[in-house]
Structure 1
């Protein structure tokens, strides 16, 4: 699979703008790296008990157990092959990322580079909120896998 930046030369995860400069940013990047495990239990230590996760515009999951169940359901239909973080910034516990998620739909075997903007809230070393914004229709069409109910 070719890199997203092959088609978009401005997308370069090797710049200083993609490097973590705070503990919160390092935590978020480590979490993104561990997403490729496809194992919700490996991700559990990252979340506060009252964490919230939402792929916009899908409904949110509230509470760490619900977040992990949602991730488990996602991992049953897609693999997170890798994440290229292009730009990273944070302030007051909010970590903002512009990235490209490389995914494969397990039922179809189709892979897709998905541009994503995310906001992750970190409090006391735990993720308390995580929201990702992407074009759901573009994803569904690319991998022939509807996520909306």
Structure 2
């Protein structure tokens, strides 16, 4: 839908290198608007504001990271938003690594990136890099404190504007999200409606990249019922959605009560649709370190409960 908008994102990601050459810092920086904001990881990672600061941050990272290779798995866009699901490979402190990321890019009328934020599982990153989970980037506490996406509050209320579906695919997925509840104490997921909107052999990966995979309608039904034992007041707030005829990508700021505690959480969700228009693959890019802190239990333990 937004070929020009996708082009600047592809240019920026490609300028990081194809594994065989070093990032072209000038090319990368030229893709950003003068006052662009780059949030290193969501929801509460450091934010870098302005071209010169972005240049300095890239040069800082290049002191210990190299060999970049970015593989775009899915990309879709509107006139002002691009969401790209990707597989990044790089070498960090001499160790080859692969990371699965969903990046959200806001693009202005001059076709420059005004905001860029990455969604990924911080716990997975720390496990594979050995980084300090409280200082992953080295800038925590030093960079700008800025939340580009507001958190939902009680009942799923949110200060940001929600996006109305722009395509039939987006409407279908939004209806699917609405079936999980409206955030009130009385609402509960409409399990049969949810399951019916998924293909018979659908797969749901609870979080990327290492979350459990649930396959098939019976297993999906059982997983939803299991989660309902400790989670309630669900509300999906879609801030941005883009799509192709077979893929829908959403940036969301959701609300739930888990184990009696408030658990606002932000994510990028990816839905692949089959030829019948049902959901065949569903996965979420979410910072599990943030979610674990809020619900007071580790993801693996929550899944086994």
Indicate the residue corresponding to 2:107 in structure 1: none
Distance 1:80 1:130 in 2: 21
Indicate the residue corresponding to 1:19 in structure 2: 164
Structure 2 unaligned regions, length at least 5 = 1-149, 154-158, 182-187
**TM-score under structure 1 length normalisation:** 0.83
1:106-117 → structure 2 map (5 Å cutoff): 107=259, 109-117=260-268
Residue from 211, 215, 220 that aligns with 1:67:
220
- Say if 1:12 and 1:130 are closer, same or farther in 2 by CA, change over 3 A: same
Q: Quote the RMSD (CA, aligned, Å).
A: 1.9
Give the number of aligned pairs: 138
CA deviation after TM superposition for structure 1 residue 146, in Å: 2.8
Once the two structures are superposed, residues 64-111 of structure 1 have per-residue CA deviations (whole angstroms, 9 ceiling, x without a partner) of: 211221122112111243111000000131000000110101x3x111
**TM-score under structure 2 length normalisation:** 0.42
Residues 81 and 104 of structure 1 are in contact (CA less than 8 Å); yes or no, is this contact kept in structure 2? yes
Compare CA radii of gyration and give the structure with the larger one. 2
CA deviation after TM superposition for structure 1 residue 45, in Å: 1.3
Indicate the residue corresponding to 1:100 in structure 2: 253
Indicate the residue corresponding to 2:240 in structure 1: 87
Secondary structure, counterpart of 1:42 in structure 2: helix
Structure 1 unaligned regions, length at least 5 = none
CA deviation after TM superposition for structure 1 residue 147, in Å: 2.7
Indicate the residue corresponding to 1:55 in structure 2: 206
Secondary structure, counterpart of 2:165 in structure 1: coil
Q: After the TM superposition, which segments of 4 or more aligned residues of structure 1 sit over 3 Å from their partners?
A: none
Indicate the residue corresponding to 2:82 in structure 1: none
Residues 169 and 245 of structure 2 are in contact (CA less than 8 Å); yes or no, is this contact kept in structure 1? no
Secondary structure, counterpart of 2:264 in structure 1: strand
More helix by share: 1
